[in-house]
Amino acid sequence: MRNDQLASGERPSAVAATRPRIGERELIWMMALLMALNAFGIDAILPALDALAGDLGAQGNDRQFVVGAYLLAAGIGTLVPGAFADRYGRRPVLFTGLFFYIVLSVACALATTFDMLVGLRAAQGFFAAGIIALPPAIIRDRVGGDKMARMMSLIFVIFLLVPAVAPSIGQAVLLAFGDWRWIFAAMAVAGCVMSLWVYVRLPETLHEDDKQEIRIPVIARNMRKAVTLRETIGYTLGSALVFGGLFGFINSSQQLIGEAFGAGDRFPLIFAICAGCMAIANWSNSRIVERYGARRVSHVALFAFIAVAAAQLYFANQPDESLWTFVPLMAANMSLLGFIGANFGSIALQPFKHIAGAASSAQGFLRMTSGALLGAFIGYAYDGTARPLALALLCTAVLSLVFVLFSERGALFGPPEPETD
């Protein structure tokens, strides 16, 4: 990966010129780990759900609300930061999100009832939504076309290493301190470290000429355009559907692996294998996407996803399904998501260079809220088997293909798209 210097994309701003320049490699790591704060906030607590539920009196599938509330509120929250980031810049909004992430992590650690914890998790997701919405906008400030897809794929490689190890970290914290509350303390520490790094090294990437007014009609017009353009809406909704299936797995994974397959002690390892496969796929995508194009790669991956999901449904309906069939197939579909997620997101954001913040927020809102609601529904449908999850994965993938066909007017496997300013 080249390490060219950048300050504010191709057109340095006065603010950025006063700060140390940051290379492409460091920018990718920084954006990835910012997004990974959210992944850590979701996945680190998974091994502690049993202890948490016992301590606070949560019943049955209700424990999933600790994850689902965060995901849904984060989706709703992504509607807010983009417009402010398009007016005041990326840095102030990022710092606001990081501040609330830290403070509410501490508050979660001090929660005394399950309802209080769920409410605090929802607030944490909502106010920290800028950490989710802004990294794609910052990258779009710099590049476009299939090069953006390459950079986003590399970001997802690093970003997905955190979900791969987060349950293990959470379990280690639980074993070391004997209390799930310390996992939230670890989240606060991670937020502090990232805040310091961003403050010292990240320049402002929004150019003065691209600043938008904070007026409801302007914001509404920009966001409406980002989610109504036919060429992109299918990709936004398509990614919401396939990631809704992934959120369904995350919500029910601890129960599914621990109860249905009796492998609770191996849950962190199994989760790491699945997330690790997704990270490897994103790295592979970064190596091929500029050559073959985001459309070709993601369309092939979506068809493969449908085939694997059909196999998952077949085995889930067998009376003797085992961990040895479930894990390889789940890992395969998570790998295929590595060729879908970054590419779909880049295609959807491509036309919106000058309103990247608002577009990222609007698309993120639609993607995250739809995905979180769908994921919560899938997770809560857990019935002691893998059947609800397998059926959901197949249905969401087929519907995703329908939306992509709509955006592409029935013509799939388009050619590579060059970088654009």
Q: Could you read off the pLDDT of 363-379 as tens digits, one per residue? A: 877 887 888 788 888 88
Q: Is residue 420 part of a domain?
A: no
Nearest to 36 by CA among 196, 166, 223: 166
Average pLDDT, the chain: 81
Q: Is residue 419 part of a domain?
A: no
Q: Is residue 112 part of a domain?
A: yes
* Per-residue pLDDT tens digits for 45-102: 888 888 888 888 887 778 778 887 887 888 788 777 777 887 788 899 899 999 999 9
Q: Look up residue 404 and give its amino acid.
A: V
Number of domains in the chain: 1
* Cβ–Cβ under 8 Å, residues 401 and 306: yes
Give the mean model confidence (pLDDT) for residues 322-345. 86
Helix (H) / strand (E) element for 23: namely strand 22-23
- Cα-based torsion angle of the residue sequence 24, 29, 30, 32 in order, rounded to the nearest 10 degrees: 120
Q: Is residue 35 part of a domain?
A: yes
Query: What is the per-residue pLDDT for 5?
Result: 41
Beta bridge partners of 6: 22
Q: Is residue 349 part of a domain?
A: yes
Give the mean model confidence (pLDDT) for residues 102-115. 93
Query: What is the per-residue pLDDT for 403?
Result: 93
Classified as helix, coil or strand, 412 is coil
Classified as helix, coil or strand, 6 is strand
Helix (H) / strand (E) element for 22: namely strand 22-23
* Per-residue pLDDT tens digits for 214-264: 677 777 777 787 877 888 888 888 988 888 888 888 778 877 887 777 777
Q: Is residue 413 part of a domain?
A: no
Q: Is residue 230 part of a domain?
A: yes
Query: What is the per-residue pLDDT for 416?
Result: 60
- Which residues, including other chains, have CB under 8 Å from residue 259's CB and lie 6 or more apart? 384
Q: Is residue 6 part of a domain?
A: no
- Which residues, including other chains, have CB under 8 Å from residue 142's CB and lie 6 or more apart? 6, 9, 10, 27, 151, 205
Report the CATH number at residue 266.
1.20.1250.20
Query: What is the per-residue pLDDT for 415?
Result: 65
Is the pLDDT reported for residue 8 higher than 50? no
**What is the domain range of residue 45?**
14-407
Q: Which of 181-195, 301-315, 321-335, 345-359 has the lowest mean pLDDT?
A: 345-359
